[in-house]
Amino acid sequence: MNILITGGAGFIGTHTTRALVAQGHQVRILDSLDPQIHGADPKFSAELLQLAECRLGSVLSLSDCMQALDGIDAVYHMAARTGVGQSMYEIADYVSTNVLGTAVLLEALLKKKVELHRLVLSSSRAIYGEGLYNCSSHGVQHPEIRSVTAMNQGDFSMPCPHCQAPMQALPTTEDCPSAPLSVYARTKKEQEDYCDYFAKTYRLPVTTLRYFNVYGSGQSLKNPYTGVVSIFFSLLREGKALSMYESGLPIRDFVHVRDVVQANLLALNAGAANQKFNVGSGVPATIADIARTQAQAMKLEAQLEDRGEFRVGDIFACYADLERSRRDLGFKPQMDLLHGMQEFVAWASGEASENLYDKTVSELRAHGLFGQARRS
Ligand SMILES: NC(=O)c1ccc[n+]([C@@H]2O[C@H](COP(=O)([O-])OP(=O)(O)OC[C@H]3O[C@@H](n4cnc5c(N)ncnc54)[C@H](O)[C@@H]3O)[C@@H](O)[C@H]2O)c1
Ligand SMILES: [Zn+2]
């Protein structure tokens, strides 16, 4: 097939391009090479230039989109700004790139009268807000965000909304209602909604993939907004202690980019279109687990510090229920956390990295989003 990947020069797009080309597809990339991701003098990599037809352009431009859709059979829509914290202060740009960019792409599909075999949308677990939990007295709950007052006092647990007892995180299913807690999350939900309207009205077969926390070789080591794995790597490499936000207790689902690529490939021909799938490892990991496993992959001893720090507005737990993805997409994640981290470390060790921790803290502080619990 002739396949267009918007944002194809990014982390997930680059891995996906390699895999699609290896399967015999022709790939075209439309990417604006955002300097935050690609540096001050952004260029397509020599590898991508060899593998794909690379076009510098924006999903915000109707003519760029229409030209990029020439002769295309399937589209992966990945172009987006992706920093959850940053989206809370660069609001207009996040809404523009993610929401308007999707609107322009859909309009281009319509104006160009392209009959796509499939549109695959890269969505996010962020649209759930908090994940699902169980209270031993009140059953399954989908709570709202925790109170900052409790967090300021060092209580980071998730209380039941009915009885205040601490709850246990459960795997989050695709049916969990959407409750976006950031501008970024809201834009991803809107991307889904616009694709849904379009799918229903114009019979466009859309497959929506809700990626959890993606990591692996090629992820940005410069962008301070997109990931704890890069932040920990820079600190570990400098022999510094790792500050465990919320005492290292928050639970996430770290899925290796190779498994995400597997889901992307399956989505191209997924039996029933217009479905939404979780793409995670299905394994809950605490932030402390991430730190220790990463240090193990680097053959270092992690020094974990609890300074009572937290990010205002962060969720406590969310990890993927994979029943639907396994059954209807045939998705089977292969990479466990240690092997995934070893793959990341083998690559990152040869790359320059910056101290991303100080950068994120100063940005969060500047916007009142950095918390520190008072402890007696
Ligand atoms: N990495 C994760 O953990 C994760 C998790 C959930 C969802 N996602 C989603 O997956 C997709 C890809 O994420 P990624 O991690 O590869 O991010 P990335 O930042 O590495 O890649 C995004 C790409 O989009 C490009 N881009 C930005 N604005 C554009 C525009 N106006 N026109 C064209 N291109 C533009 C950037 O230059 C970049 O190359 C995004 O939609 C993101 O929201 C990622
Ligand atoms: Zn309860």
Using 50, 70 and 90 to split pLDDT, how confident is the model at 225? Answer: low
CA 150 to centroid of ligand 2, rounded, Å? 17
In the structure encoding, which two tokens stand for residue 178, read together?
Answer: 């959407």
At residue 12, does pLDDT exceed 70?
yes
β-bridge partners, 171: 319
Indicate the pTM of the whole model: 0.96
Using 50, 70 and 90 to split pLDDT, how confident is the model at 368? Answer: confident
Q: What span, in angstroms and rounded, lies between the C-alpha atoms of 232 and 143?
A: 29
Q: What are phi and psi of 66, to 5 degrees?
A: -65, -40
- pLDDT tens, 232-270? 999 999 999 999 999 999 999 999 999 999 999 999 988
Check residues 64 and 224 and name the one with the higher pLDDT. 64
- pLDDT tens, 282-312? 999 999 999 999 999 999 998 999 999 998 8
Percentage, residues of the chain above pLDDT 90: 85
The DSSP string of 13-37 is: HHHHHHHHHHTT-EEEEEE---HHH
pLDDT at 271: 77
CA 183 to centroid of ligand 2, rounded, Å? 30
Domain that holds residue 307: 2-372
Closest ligand to 166 CA? 2
Give the pocket of ligand 1 (CB within 6 Å): 6-7, 9-13, 30-34, 37-38, 58-60, 78-80, 82, 97, 101, 122, 124, 211, 213-214
pLDDT at 376: 57
Residue whose CA is at the smallest distance from ligand 1 atom 38: 10
Residue whose CA is at the smallest distance from ligand 1 atom 1: 214
Among 54, 76, 78, the mutation site with the greatest number of ligand 1 atoms within 8 A of its Cβ is 78
- pLDDT tens, 143-164? 999 989 999 999 999 999 999 9
Q: What span, in angstroms and rounded, lies between the C-alpha atoms of 330 and 323?
A: 10
At residue 274, does pLDDT exceed 90?
no
Q: Which atom number of ligand 1 is nearest to the Cα of residue 214?
A: 3
What mean pLDDT, rounded, does the chain reach? 94
Burial class (CB in 10 A: 0-12, 13-18, 19+), 309: middle
Q: What span, in angstroms and rounded, lies between the C-alpha atoms of 75 and 6?
A: 8
Using 50, 70 and 90 to split pLDDT, how confident is the model at 123? Answer: very high
Identity at 170, one-letter amino acid code: L
348-374 mean pLDDT? 84
CA 225 to centroid of ligand 1, rounded, Å? 12
At residue 133, does pLDDT exceed 70?
yes
What single DSSP character describes residue 112? T
pLDDT at 226: 67
Task: Select which of 184, 215, 319, 357 is catalytic.
Answer: 184
CATH number at residue 314: 3.40.50.720
Closest ligand to 209 CA? 1
At residue 366, does pLDDT exceed 70?
yes
pLDDT at 345: 97
Q: Is 319 a catalytic residue?
A: no
Number of structural domains (the chain) is 1
pLDDT at 85: 84
CA 369 distance to own-chain centroid = 20
Q: Which atom number of ligand 1 is nearest to the Cα of residue 184?
A: 43
Closest ligand to 162 CA? 2
- pLDDT tens, 200-221? 999 899 999 999 999 999 998 8
